């Protein structure tokens, strides 16, 4: 059980760090949460919003008064902070965790650099948002998401249990695995899909030089299937560099996969092509529906709307009357086989379900999901 009076340092007051702070405060309101960020604006915002109880003048100052350290920073910065912790001279036991999307480099560095009294548990909460910064933090961000833990080899069981207890307010599903297992799995279902999405966008961009209408046509389904290509470029640069070997394995597998279907097309193998798409359909249709995974889910509701002035304000007015918040709204001008579509995005699946009922009851418009 966690000490009710312990002090927790959260270094990195963005969406993830702020949401972790809120989830801890929800479960343990008497614990003191100290925040540190290189951005003074983020520290001020976190204080004003009540996300943290105090700010640290420096990372080292925050370390000296805390027993649990949560490094909610990019992987490269996390490694630097682990080095600072190792050199801090603090002799008491510390429990340290991070939130990075890759685990091998961080965990292996911690195993080599940290003194034996420091307990390091790699962490990766598999949840996110299309918004950033501490102002977007929510205490429910990790609810029903997978929260991966990758303890260092010498970390004791009690430290892992204490951390899970501290984070139980996230309402996440904790799973323990090795750093190698984590990086292999995420390279398949998160890292490489971002590469593919970015590659498709580059292909369309190059093709536009010859066919200028490409961008207009891409406003529909193509824009949807490449949404993850809009993710933070610096973050994805670092993820690929830190998970280099697993990503290279995926490139080799992808080339084989592309060569396989290229052969089907070249040889006009109708049966091979049908089986290829049929097998993919069956596997994809068997994936968990509207569950949180490695890639943040898009809680979108599509609404068939008539083409007349004021329809958007009508729908948003209905949603506002029931206190349903939306994160984005967009008219889809070109969508295969569908016309007059309004796409509304929400923060949670619960908000989406409430919105569906609201729109059907108040406006009598047809709605659907695109899973």
Count CB-CB contacts under 10 A for residue 82: 23
In three-state secondary structure terms, 191 is helix
* Residue predicted with more confidence, 130 or 40: 40
Q: Which residues contact 138 (CB under 8 A, 6 or more apart)?
A: 19, 22, 129, 347
SS3 assignment, position 120: strand
Percent of the chain topping pLDDT 70: 91
Residue-wise burial string across 262-277, b where 16 or more C-beta atoms lie within 10 A, e elsewhere: eebeeeeeeeeeeebe
Phi/psi for 173 (5° steps) reads -100, 110
**Cβ pair 31, 52 in contact under 8 A:** no
Does the structure show a pLDDT above 70 at 1? Answer: no
Query: Is residue 334 very low, low, confident or very high in pLDDT (cuts 50, 70, 90)?
Result: very low
| pLDDT tier at 253, thresholds 50, 70, 90 | very high
pLDDT of 337 > 50? The answer is no
> How large is the average pLDDT for residues 254-258?
97
Confidence of residue 340 (pLDDT cuts 50, 70, 90): low
Report all structural domains of the chain as residue ranges with CATH numbers, in order of start. 7-177 (3.40.50.720), 182-285 (1.10.3660.10), 299-368 (3.30.70.260)
Per residue in 270-287, pLDDT (tens digit) is 999 999 999 999 999 898
- The answer, yes or no, to whether residue 333 has pLDDT greater than 60, is no
């Amino acid at each position: 059980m966690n000490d009710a009076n312990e002090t927790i340092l959260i270094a990195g007051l963005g969406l993830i760090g702020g949401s972790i702070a809120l989830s801890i405060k929800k479960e343990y309101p008497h614990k003191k949460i100290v925040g540190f960020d290189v951005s003074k604006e983020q520290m001020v915002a976190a204080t004003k919003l009540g996300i943290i109880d105090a700010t640290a003048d420096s990372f080292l100052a925050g370390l000296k008064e805390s027993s649990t350290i949560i490094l909610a920073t990019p992987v490269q910065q996390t490694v630097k902070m682990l080095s600072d912790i190792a050199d801090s001279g603090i002799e008491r036991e510390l429990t340290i965790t991070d939130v990075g999307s890759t685990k091998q480099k961080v965990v292996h560095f911690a195993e080599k650099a940290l003194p034996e009294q420091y307990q390091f548990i790699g962490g990766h909460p598999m949840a996110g948002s299309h918004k950033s910064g501490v102002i977007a933090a929510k205490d429910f961000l990790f609810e029903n998401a997978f929260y991966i833990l990758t303890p260092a080899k010498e970390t004791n069981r009690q430290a892992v249990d204490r951390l899970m207890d501290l984070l139980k307010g996230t309402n996440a599903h904790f799973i323990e695995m090795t750093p190698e297992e984590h990086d292999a799995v995420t390279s398949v279902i998160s890292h490489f899909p971002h590469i593919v999405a970015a590659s498709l966008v580059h292909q369309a961009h190059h093709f536009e030089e010859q066919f200028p209408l490409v961008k207009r046509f891409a406003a529909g389904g193509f824009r949807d299937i490449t949404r993850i290509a809009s993710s933070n470029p610096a973050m994805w640069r670092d993820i690929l560099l830190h998970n280099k070997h697993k990503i290279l394995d995926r490139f080799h597998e992808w080339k084989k996969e592309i060569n396989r279907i290229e052969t089907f097309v070249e040889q006009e193998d109708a049966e091979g092509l049908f089986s290829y798409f049929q097998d993919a359909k069956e596997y994809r249709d068997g994936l968990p529906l509207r569950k949180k995974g490695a890639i943040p889910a898009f809680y979108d509701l599509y609404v068939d709307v008539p083409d007349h002035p004021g329809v958007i304000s009508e729908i948003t007015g209905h949603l506002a009357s029931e206190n349903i918040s939306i994160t984005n709204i967009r008219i889809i001008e070109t969508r295969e086989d569908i016309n007059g579509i309004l796409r509304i995005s929400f923060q949670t699946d619960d908000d989406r379900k409430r919105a569906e009922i609201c729109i059907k009851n108040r406006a009598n418009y047809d709605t659907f999901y695109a899973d």
